[in-house]
Chains A and B, each alone.
Chain A
Amino acid sequence: MQVKVNGKSEDIQSGSVLDLLTLKKIDPQMVAVEVNDKMIDREHLATTTLKEGDLVEFLFYMGGGR
């Protein structure tokens, strides 16, 4: 199915947000996740199932400034 991940269309297997993170080898502790403009608590990543057309944002920490 098609979802948008950080603005880019991707064809993925159906599954949870956590499955997608695992597939992308992203440690859930390193991102804040939004699906359709709604923040998903870390403890709900495994139980949030993605559906066709979902807009997923993986927000990475951006720390520098000096």
Chain B
Amino acid sequence: MEFTEEQINRYSRHILLPEVGGKGQKKIAKAKILLVGAGGLGSPAALYLAAAGVGTIGLIDSDVVDLTNLQRQILHHTSDIGRPKVVSGKEKIAALNPDVIVKTYEERLTAGNALKIFSEYDIIIDGVDNFTAKFLINDACFFADKPLIHGGILRFDGRVTTIVPKKSACYRCVFKTPPPAGLVASCQEAGVIGVLAGIIGTIQATEALKLILGIGRPLTDRLLDFDAKKTLFREIKVKRNPHCALCGDHPTITELFDDGDPFAGCAVRP
């Protein structure tokens, strides 16, 4: 694959970086990244990854754009209200960078379709808003052996971590199961400061690019928690848990399943 002169210009600020160069930019152009959720976290991730020249971006989301989304889901515009998010997202990506191939999946991620879809990508980015989906993505990345960039936002707090299955701590190594449904507030009840989606989603995109380029130190075995009120990042070290039901020494989870109630909501700080 050779870049055209226009592409060399477009990506010149990348190519200038010794850590990227023409070689790294080609790695980016060959990369396939799946965004699960084309909403708050998926929006900035999609836009920055498209701008960066990621070759293939997959968008999976079954929702249509709602007025209440626009406060943070910058992939969608007012004129998109009522349209499928994956359609709106594909248009924005194409407008930003026609080099990018966008594959869309207008469906929910389920235990039934996850592995097949994941198998077509190099890296998976979690931009979903419920625990069933977050655990499903974690488990599917383990079975499909795909690196996962996990993210979560709530109120004024955000969290991001990178999971390389079988090499670093997985989501279940830390949080064994989804929280009990009755104790969890829904995202609609909880609220979120819109800019958090930009901060956390952009860190997720950064982590994905680092993995593609094979540079730096990935955010593995660390949870990076962000407190927007204090403008404070905290890093919490985590380790692979030998008792993990998924990736531990004696796993009890041997196939994909939908853990918990998918409509149980998103929260929580007690």
A residues with CB within 8 A of B: 6-7, 25-27, 29-30, 32, 34, 37-39, 41-42, 57, 59-66
Contacts and interface: CB of A to CB of B under 8 A. Distances in A.
B32 interface: no
Given A6-B234, A32-B174, A39-B241, A66 B270 contact: no
Contacts, number: 102
A62 B171 CA distance: 11
B192 interface: yes
B136 to A, nearest CB: 13
A63 B270 contact: no
Contacts of B192: 64
Contacts of B127: 65-66
Given A65-B127, A66-B73, A60 B270 contact: yes
A63 B131 CA distance: 6
Contacts of B243: 41
B129 A30 contact: no
Given A60-B270, A61-B268, A66 B39 contact: yes
Q: Which 4 A-B pairs have the closest CB atoms?
A: A62-B152, A66-B39, A63-B266, A66-B129
Given A32-B174, A57-B236, A62 B270 contact: no
Interface string B178-200: 11100110010010100001000
18 contacts: A30-B270, A41-B243, A59-B236, A60-B268, A61-B152, A61-B175, A62-B153, A62-B154, A62-B158, A62-B225, A63-B129, A64-B154, A64-B187, A64-B192, A64-B266, A66-B37, A66-B39, A66-B128
B81 to A, nearest CB: 15
Of the listed residues B40, B127, B151, B236, the one surrounded by the most CB atoms of chain A closer than 10 A to its CB is B236
A66 B174 contact: no
B239 interface: yes
A34 to B, nearest CB: 7
B236 A62 contact: no
Contact of B153 (A42, A57, A64): A64
A38 B151 CA distance: 22
A53 to B, nearest CB: 17
Given A26-B270, A62-B159, A63-B129, A34 B153 contact: no
Interface string B69-102: 1000100000000000000000000000000000
Contact of A66 (B173, B184, B187, B223): B187
A63 B260 CA distance: 13
A63 B268 contact: yes
A27 B268 CA distance: 11
A29 B180 CA distance: 7
Contacts of B250: none
Given A62-B159, A63-B129, A63-B267, 8 more contacts: A32-B174, A34-B238, A39-B241, A63-B131, A65-B127, A66-B73, A66-B127, A66-B187
Contacts of A63: 129-131, 134, 152, 154, 184, 187, 265-268
